[in-house]
């Protein structure tokens, strides 16, 4: 018996389907994935990082904002992600064809930083989203693995809570790990005063 494969959706089909049911969804390589409610610790970590970045871009008087909900559409249009923290450049949103109606960005110039707080589906953050954000050309991508869920090849053995700042250099992400009281180095915010441990402590 031959079983028909499920049809993969385009981004347009995903947008048309998207229900107003109070839930969140992403599109992963044409497959709809429901975003389950994060834990309290996960929310606190994301909120803490967002607050610290907001203070910094406000201090620098940059035209940035952090939306409550927005999607990042990858170049292939097979995936659309809802990051935990998405920094938007307001000056480029007029160039985004999908933003006004669908709160969706598809250009690297609109996204100075994108941040994923790692949960049990850690492979999405370390592999799929890493690859897609890199392909899109987003200049800075943080992987906030506060609960040390990632693979040992990334965060050590024994596993340690780690923040990765991935900087786009010649089209490829260079991953720099930060642990403990090490000050986080951000290319976008060179004067950012923030340590990895402060982010980890926010989960408590």
Give CA–CA dist 157/128, Å, rounded.
23
Which single residue is written with the structure tokens 């260079």?
A: 174
pLDDT in tens, 9-38: 999 899 889 888 888 899 999 999 988 777
Give the residue-averaged pLDDT of 58-64. 97
- Quote the CA–CA distance of 172 and 150 in Å, as a whole number: 21
The residue whose two tokens read 């990334």 is 154
Return the exposure string of 172-181: e unless at least 16 CB atoms fall within 10 Å of the residue's CB, then b. ebeeebbbee
Over residues 70-94, the pLDDT tens digits come to 999 998 768 999 999 999 999 999 9
pLDDT band at 151 (very low <50, low <70, confident <90, very high): very high
pLDDT of residue 5: 55
51: pLDDT confidence band, cut at 50, 70 and 90? very high
Percent of the chain at pLDDT > 90 equals 80
Query: Per residue in 63-90, is it b (16+ CB within 10 Å) or e — as a string?
Result: ebebeeebbbbbeeebbbbbbbbbbbbe
Decide if pLDDT at 129 tops 90: yes
Whole-number Å distance between alpha carbons of 79 and 111: 16
What pLDDT is attached to residue 1? Answer: 47
Phi, psi for 36 (deg, rounded to 5): -80, 155
DSSP 32: E
Q: Which residue has the higher pLDDT, 12 or 108?
A: 108
Count of C-beta atoms within a 10 Å radius of residue 119: 18
């Amino acid at each position: 018996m031959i079983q028909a494969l499920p049809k993969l959706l385009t981004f347009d089909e995903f947008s048309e389907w998207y229900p107003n049911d109070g839930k969140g969804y992403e599109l992963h390589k044409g497959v709809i994935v429901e975003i389950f409610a994060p834990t309290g610790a996960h929310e606190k970590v994301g909120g803490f990082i967002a607050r610290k970045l907001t203070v910094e871009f406000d201090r620098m008087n940059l035209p940035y904002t952090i939306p409550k909900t927005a999607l990042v559409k990858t170049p292939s249009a097979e995936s659309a992600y809802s990051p935990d923290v998405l920094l938007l450049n307001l000056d480029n949103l007029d160039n985004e064809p999908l933003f006004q109606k669908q709160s969706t960005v598809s250009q690297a110039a609109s996204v100075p930083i994108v941040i994923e707080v790692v949960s049990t589906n850690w492979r999405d953050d370390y592999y799929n989203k890493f690859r897609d954000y890199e392909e899109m050309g987003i200049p800075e991508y943080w992987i906030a693995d506060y609960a040390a869920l990632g693979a040992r090849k990334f965060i050590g053995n024994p596993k340690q809570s780690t923040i990765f700042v991935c900087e786009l250099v010649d089209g490829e992400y260079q991953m720099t790990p930060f642990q403990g009281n090490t000050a986080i180095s951000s290319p976008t915010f060179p004067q950012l005063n923030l340590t990895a441990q402060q982010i980890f402590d926010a989960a408590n």
